[in-house]
Amino acid sequence: MATIIDGKAVAQDLRGKLAERVKDMKASGVVPGLAVVLLGDDPASRSYVTAKEKSCEELGMYSRDIRLPAETSEEDLLKLIGELNGDEAIDGILVQLPLPSHIDEQKIIVAIDPSKDVDGFHPMSVGRMLLEQDTFLPCTPHGILKLLEYSGISARGKKVVVVGRSNIVGKPISNLMFQKQSWGNATVTVCHTGTADLKKETLEADILIAAAGRPEMITGDMIKKGAVVIDVGVNRVEDSSKKRGYRLCGDVAFDQACESASFITPVPGGVGPMTITMLLFNTVKSAEARLG
């Protein structure tokens, strides 16, 4: 049976350390501030954003919650980002993705001052990450590195298979895993919709990272005995037995996977709590840099 990697417990431990740093900064008169911008009312985005704001407050940080109609123009959003770039109280700017289709996502990301890019999505941050220079690492991949570290799992010399090539998870985590750093040194395969034989690839994985956004697509027969399984998926699937009408599930068929995996992250309670924690980490880091 697999050991469950408790993301909530790791997140809590890291948040405790961050709270100390926030306390120290407050003593110097600086409160780390995060602006969260949400357009429209997609339920999943709304629940992420609410969780981000709540976590900020729990740590004693300042959170500015900006909710705008889905019809907001690109011009108005760019103007808002310009204001936040110049706002002394704001150390981090997060624009919740995906954005409505009339807005060019890349144009918005590029407008964020790289020194406030706590999502790590700006081309400057992405480039610095690729070059292994100090930067804001994207939150979900960074959270995965922390979960592995806390669980005593080294990627060095291992075969890592990433399923999914998104800008937010697949691309950055695959890069981080082969970096010549304490968290890397793995041999990495990236699978995607163009992969000829997915099962053949996943069966090779010592560490399997599922980030495709497809409910339970990784079944038990696709997992090597003893593999570490990191499930990044957060999917809502209809379930009439639940009061809210849906249940959350990952990209991995959890019960089946538990039979072969040595370690596994659950959904919810695995990678999810880490994403927000690393966002808070980046915001504190930004505020500390400002403080000097």
Binding site for ligand GUN (CB under 6 A): 94-97, 119, 139-140, 168, 275
Q: Is 96 in the active site?
A: yes
Choose among 124, 117, 89, 147: nearest CA to 277: 147
Q: Which is nearer to ligand GUN, 222 or 279 (CB)?
A: 279
Closest CA to 271 of 138, 142, 118: 142
The reply to whether omega before 268 is within 30° of 0 (cis) is: yes
CB–CB of 11/273 below 8 Å? yes
- Contact assessment for residue 31 and residue 291, using Cβ atoms and an 8 Å cutoff: no
Smallest gap, in angstroms, from Cβ of residue 105 to ligand GUN? 10
Q: Which is nearer to ligand GUN, 140 or 179 (CB)?
A: 140
52 is catalytic: yes
Minimal distance, residue 168 CB to ligand GUN, in Å: 5
Catalytic one of 91, 119, 231, 251: 119
SS3 category, 225: coil
Of 91, 96, 206, 224, which one is the catalytic site residue? 96
Of all residues in this chain, which one has the CB nearest to ligand GUN in the complex? 97
Q: Which one, 168 or 227, has the nearer CB to ligand GUN? A: 168
Nearer to ligand GUN, 100 or 220 (CB): 100
Contact between 10 and 276 (Cβ < 8 Å): no
Q: Which residues are catalytic?
A: 52, 96, 119
